[in-house]
Amino acid sequence: MMELQAVRDYLTALQSRICTTLEQQEPEARFGEDVWTRPQGGGGVTRILSGGNLFEKAGVGFSHVQGDQLPPTAAANRPELAGRRWQAMGVSLVIHPRNPYVPTSHANIRLFAAEKPGSDPVWWFGGGFDLTPYYGFNDDARHWHQTARDLCQPFGETVYPRYKQWCDEYFYLPHRQEPRGIGGLFFDDLNDWEFETCFAFLQAVGNGYLDAYMPIVERRRHLEYGARERQWQAVRRGRYVEFNLVYDRGTLFGLQSGGRTESILMSLPPSVEWHYDFQPEPGSPEHHLLTDTLRRREWV
């Protein structure tokens, strides 16, 4: 039996916990809150922190939306969903630190459900988290993936390898032939277990995000940087924008389903740069990121 209210309660509490944790790292900057409604049904709460000492931009959004007609991204491979009323709820976040030595992070957990009178409900969970560094630190990558592996272990030996590979394959820019970052976990269409077990896994991923990210933030936040590092960060942020606007399923679903544009695009960084055929100096830390860190590998 689906317990949609329990999922919603967990998601809203998670949003608040993450925002509180991030605010505790800032001397003055605080999240602004934008409560919105969707004309087609539902709404959400978007929280944005801008101009912080540590976090240049942080967006943590909750949404719970409904509709009578599925958008093309959701219905293309699931013809059995035609004619069903649907609802989707989730928390999505992107953190863009100011210091280029602190990586950008992204997390998303969500539930999709579609119902039709006289038929069993259709539901699945999805989500994960991934890390986008601008400078490569192997110990950060190992910690990130060890945390991901540990939270997956209670659900089976094959869960982490499967969702780690899925993340590597998903967060990839074919036109650049490069990964967006070092990956993490990505899963979708999860209904292999009972609803309660799938929900427990969703909570493990949601709770594991801060365990994975905050130690890295603390480790790198005080490293000194200058104009060179900031420019490299801006160039790499451009890759982030390219992926989100061209390939990201969540972005496409939100835009095609008539979602709230400001909330959907909150993931975009505050400033980026594109330079024609930009190439880092061979042997530099920037070059190391591309040739060593951003390679698919088994970190743990």
Binding residues for substrate: 92, 108-110, 258-260
Q: Which residue has the tokens 């998303």?
A: 108
Binding-site sequence positions for a divalent metal cation: 96, 106, 145, 175
Hey, which bits of the chain come out as E strands? 32-37, 42-50, 55-67, 85-97, 104-115, 122-132, 172-173, 178-179, 183-190
What gap in Å lies between CA 205 and CA 111, rounded to an integer? 13
* Amino acid, single-letter form, for residue 280: P
- For residue 10, which of 83, 67, 65, 62 has the smallest C-alpha distance? 62
Q: Which residue has the tokens 């601008």?
A: 134
Query: Residue 150 is encoded by which pair of tokens?
Result: 């540990």
Which one from 106, 143, 287, 288 is the annotated catalytic residue? 106
What gap in Å lies between CA 45 and CA 58, rounded to an integer? 14
Pseudo-torsion of CA 249, 252, 257, 263, nearest 10°?
100
Contact 269, 96 (CB under 8 A): yes
Q: What's the chain's length in residues?
A: 300
Q: Which residues pair with 64 in a beta bridge?
A: 43, 89
Catalytic status, residue 106: yes
What gap in Å lies between CA 277 and CA 124, rounded to an integer? 41
Residue 268 phi/psi, 5-degree rounding, is -75, 140
Helical axes 138-152 vs 195-220, angle rounded to 10° = 160
Exposure on the CB side of residue 245, measured as CA atoms within 13 A: 11
Residues with a catalytic annotation lie at 106
